[in-house]
Amino acid sequence: MKVFDRFRKREKEGNKQQEKKQSSLEKKEYLFKITLLGDGAVGKTSLRKRYMGQGFTTQHLMTIGADFAILEKEIEGNKLTWQIWDLAGQESFKKVRSMYYKGCFGALLVFDMTRRSSFENLDIWLKELYKHSGRGKIPVIVLGNKADLADQREVFPEDVEKYVAKLQKSVAKEGVEVKYLETSALTGLNVEKAFNMLGEAIMKYLRARGK
């Protein structure tokens, strides 16, 4: 019986090692280039800094065409390296932005919920992304930022719901997901969730294409 027990113990240990090895093989490492898009002063840089644990700044920092950061995270058990491009929203940088879109897998499309014009300009940013990404239509998470100022909002949930539904319908054939979140770079509301949702949407997008 002791011999049999030792055999069963070794068998169980072997099975555990095999399961661990298989689990390790199933995990993947990803490098995703993404962009933060939207009009100037909607909070793109503050969202990126909050996600990276750098806190919130009330002073708007003008980026020269684009700002770049790299961050490693784990999403769905997979190692993910973000290559984050924070694109300047000012009109004066429009000519240089196209080069930064190339190779993007997804984007966070940001508007300021207290400034309706920033919401109405989302289509302009989306067209730029689709035109210059080199991948056509790719996953996008729409973010209504500055939720901490909700009492001053000029954009309401029903407005965004209609926009996102229309956008989702336009990309459905490509198997691309579009989702919406309200965020606050000041309080951190949904900032981590926004990046996680984008990562999950991109991985789903790639799996659908056998990658």
3 part of a folded domain: no
Average pLDDT in the 75-98 region?
83
Which H or E run contains 140?
A: strand 140-145
Q: Which domain holds residue 166?
A: 27-207
Question: Domain count of the chain?
Answer: 1
| pLDDT at residue 24, rounded to an integer | 43
Please indicate, yes or no, if residue 185 is contained in any of the structural domains.
yes
Partner residues linked to 75 by β-bridges: 78
Under the banding of pLDDT at 50, 70 and 90, the label for residue 60 is: very low
List pLDDT tens digits, range 172-183. Answer: 888 898 999 999
- Residue 211 three-state SS: coil
Range in 14-18, 100-104, 121-125 the model is least confident about: 14-18
Residue 167 counted as domain residue: yes
Predicted local distance difference test score (pLDDT) of residue 205? 92
Q: Quick check: is 10 in a domain?
A: no
CATH number at residue 169: 3.40.50.300
pLDDT band at 204 (very low <50, low <70, confident <90, very high): very high
12 inside domain: no
- 19 in any annotated domain: no
Q: Phi-psi region for residue 145, left (φ > 0), alpha (ψ -120 to 50) or beta? A: beta
pLDDT band at 97 (very low <50, low <70, confident <90, very high): confident
CA dist list (Å): 96 to 120, 121, 126, 135: 22, 18, 16, 19
pLDDT band at 38; cut points 50, 70, 90: very high
Q: For residue 73, is it within any domain?
A: yes
> Would residue 2 count as lying in a domain?
no
107-156 pLDDT, tens digit each = 999 999 999 999 999 999 999 999 999 999 999 999 999 999 999 999 99
Task: Look at residue 185 in the predicted model and tell me its pLDDT.
Answer: 95
Per-residue confidence (pLDDT) for residue 16, from 0 to 100:
52
Nearest Cα to Cα of residue 90 among 114, 69, 65: 65
